[in-house]
Every structure is written in structure tokens, then in C-alpha cells.
Amino acid sequence: MTANTKNAEFRIARQRTELILTQPFFGALALRLAVAERNDLPTMATDGVHLFYNRAFVDGMTDSDLRGVIAHEVLHCVYDHCGRLLGRDPERWNRAADYVINPVVKAAGFTLPDGCLDAPQYHGMHADKVYGMLPPTPPGGGEGGTGPGGVLAPPPGTAPADLATDWAVAAAQAVNADRMSRGAGKLPAEIDRMVQDLLHPQADWRELLRRFLDPMSRGEYSWSRPNRRFIGAGIILPGTEPDEVGPMVLAVDTSGSMDHDALRRCISELNAIAGEVEPEAIDCIGVDTAVHGHARFERGDSITQAGWVKGGGGTRFSPGFAWAAQHAPGAEAIIYLTDGDCADFGPAPACPVIWAIVDNPGFAPPFGDVVHLRGGPDVA
């Protein structure tokens, strides 16, 4: 390790300590990231597990700006920008995420290096919406301005949904620690609202979906067949007898306009409900104008986003229903999570359909039942 490397790591360590003392929310979360040198990156970056740094970039910053960039990387993790990269253009997604994060970082009292992306027209939006508004990355680089830190996909072997849950729980704990240390009202309201929204999904969505699924459960609870979802946590609960509920299909709109924070919360709710209803299997498909990904989760499995949430183009519903008819003809129900920005429904499937609609109160499909799910916080 060179003297410059030691100096860069020392400065990062010192600013993380300063955050603990002056900004406990950011300080506690910054300590979750393993610091690692990556001089192939132009600035700093995170994959949700590491805090990567370019030595020359760190050497050229003031202590105040370095502290702000660390806070910037922390918010990338809290807002799950790494897990929500989802095959998008990385540079365009990073620009969208930076437009969302930088004003929040500044509102928390930090400074950032000159030239960081910040535009009033994007204030208060979530990254998915900003991404859809930005032009594609031009050849050779981005558009007027630089990002103080990059967004990288989670490392191999790390489930994005699990990483998002871990960060949401850690963020809630950090909010409480910050309040105990500094009192209420010191954090930007956007951060507090985002954390509470992630940890407390809408009860009406869960209740309505439960009412839709419960009539399909025809079995009796049995202690001789414990619910496997809770055994790992040391909790023994009764399960239902096998084969009471047949397979289901979860079709997810992965078009560019879709709010993927809502997807994460929906999957969290489906895991909880599936643990009680215990369908035989859930076939999950990612659909924009075609089906791009599929994963099958058997009874007792936890539903994750890994491997099947792919897309980013336009929106068509009919390919998802066509896939279900061909590959899951015995499905007892199809759940379609979407913002409803489409008129291509295709013929009604043979099984019941429930539409989980994000931020579109006027959505009126030609078939199926509708559950309205408010999207994630506007700053996510």
C-alpha cells in the first residue's frame, strides 16, 4: 500500500468518524460499506456492499466535499439505486439517481464538488421517472456535469431484494439513532418519509390481495407440516396440507416508466401472503413489450428480483398473458403489477386476474379486479 493510498483511506476513515459525530444517520450507514480502492473508476462508487474510491479523486477533494460524497453514496444504497439498475444503461441511470440524490445531500447540510448534477426540474422526483425523461447516453460520455459517485450492480451472489431490505432496516435504525442524538427534525423530510414508506407498506394493498387469495386456500392448517418460511428464524408455525392452492403467475411491468420501488414493496407483501396461502408455485415474469425474464419459486421459497426483472422498453400486457397461457396453463390466478400505461390487453385469460396498479387511479382494464398501490416516495 502506497503512502497516497494510506492517506486516501485515512481521510475516508476520518470523514466517516466525523459523520458519526455530526450526522449520525449518514455515519452509521457509511460504516456498513467496506472501503476499497478502484482506480479504474473515475470518482467514487458503491455496489451496496462496498465504498469504492479513486485515489486521485479523493486526493483532489476538500474534507467537506469528501464528507458530502460519502453521504451521497450512502443515499444511493438507502434508495436501492444499485439493486434497481436492472439492466438499464448504467451511465443514464447514474445520472438520474444523482439528480435525485444531490439536492437531498445539500439539504442535509453537505457540500459537493463543483459540477455535480442538480436541476430544479427533477427535484422531488424518483429516479425511475427521471431516467425516463433523460436522453440516452451520447457516444463518449454524459451530459454537462459530473457525478461525484457511481452506481454499480450488487456483487455476484448478492440478492438485490435482500440487500434492499437490509438497507431499509438499517436506515430505520439510523433514523432513530439520529433522533436520539440530535432530536427530531434534523434530517431532510424526504429521507424520513422514504424510510417509513419502505418499512410500512400500505395495509389496504395487503388486505385486498389477501381477500383475493384466501378463497383459493381450501386446506386445513397442520402442525405435522410446519411453515418452512419461518423455520430459519427459529419460529415454528403450522403449514397447510399440500396442494390446496395451485400455481400462480406474477407478471411485472418492467417498462421504462415503471416504479421499481413499488415492485420491491409488492414482492415483500407477496412473500408474506404466500407464506400463509402457500401456493404450489409462483411463476414470475418480467414484461415490457415482450417477456424478458422468468423465475419459478416453489412452495416455501422466498420471492426475489434476481434474474427475471428485465426490460426497460415500452409497455404491452398481451405478451404476459400469452406466456401464461402457454407456459402456466394451470395457473389459478395472474397478478399483474404495472402503472397501467398501456391499452394492449389481448384476450382475457381463463383464470382470474388481479391488477396491482401504481399511481394510476383512472386505470380501467377490460377484465380482472384492480388493487391500487401507491408508488414509492417521490425522492426514491
pLDDT at 106 over 70: yes
User: Which range marks the domain in which residue 247 is found?
Assistant: 203-373
With cut-offs at 50, 70 and 90, classify the pLDDT of residue 203: very low
Q: Quick one: 188 and 219 in the same domain?
A: no
Q: Quick one: 38 and 61 in the same domain?
A: yes
pLDDT at 2 over 90: no
In a domain, 54, yes or no: yes
pLDDT, position 196: 63
pLDDT, position 170: 87
Structural domain count, the chain: 2
Task: Please state, in angstroms and rounded to a whole number, the distance separating the CA atoms of residues 82 and 163.
Answer: 9
In a domain, 357, yes or no: yes
Q: Which pLDDT tens digit goes with each residue over 77-89?
A: 998 899 888 778 8
Q: Cα-flanking dihedrals φ and ψ of residue 56, to 5°?
A: -65, -35
Q: Quick one: 164 and 308 in the same domain?
A: no
Q: Which pLDDT tens digit goes with each residue over 319-332?
A: 999 999 999 998 98
| Mean pLDDT computed over every residue of the chain | 79
DSSP letter at 232 equals: G
pLDDT, position 102: 94
With cut-offs at 50, 70 and 90, classify the pLDDT of residue 380: very low
Task: Please state, in angstroms and rounded to a whole number, the distance separating the CA atoms of residues 2 and 258.
Answer: 46
Using an 8 Å Cβ cutoff, are 20 and 70 in contact? no
SS3 242: coil
Q: Quick one: 165 and 218 in the same domain?
A: no
Final residue before a domain boundary, out of 199, 226, 249: 199
Q: Quick one: 35 and 176 in the same domain?
A: yes
Q: Which pLDDT tens digit goes with each residue over 26-51?
A: 999 999 999 999 999 999 999 999 99
Final residue before a domain boundary, out of 179, 199, 219: 199
Q: Quick one: 155 and 276 in the same domain?
A: no
Rg over alpha carbons for the chain, rounded to the nearest Å, is 22
Q: Cα-flanking dihedrals φ and ψ of residue 193, to 5°?
A: -65, -40
Query: Which comes out higher in pLDDT, residue 76 or 201?
Result: 76
Q: Cα-flanking dihedrals φ and ψ of residue 111, to 5°?
A: -110, 155
Q: Which residues pair with 132 in a beta bridge?
A: none
Q: Quick one: 137 and 39 in the same domain?
A: yes
SS3 content of the chain, % helix, strand, coil (to 5): 40, 15, 40
Using an 8 Å Cβ cutoff, are 370 and 348 in contact? no
Final residue before a domain boundary, out of 146, 170, 199: 199
In a domain, 379, yes or no: no
Q: Quick one: 208 and 174 in the same domain?
A: no
Q: Quick one: 232 and 337 in the same domain?
A: yes
Query: Which comes out higher in pLDDT, residue 303 or 344?
Result: 344
Q: Which pLDDT tens digit goes with each residue over 226-235?
A: 555 444 445 5
pLDDT at 218 over 50: no
Q: Quick one: 208 and 175 in the same domain?
A: no
Q: Quick one: 97 and 245 in the same domain?
A: no
Alpha helices in 60-107 (DSSP H): 63-78, 90-107
Using an 8 Å Cβ cutoff, are 275 and 244 in contact? no
pLDDT, position 27: 93
Amino acid identity of residue 122, one-letter, is: Y
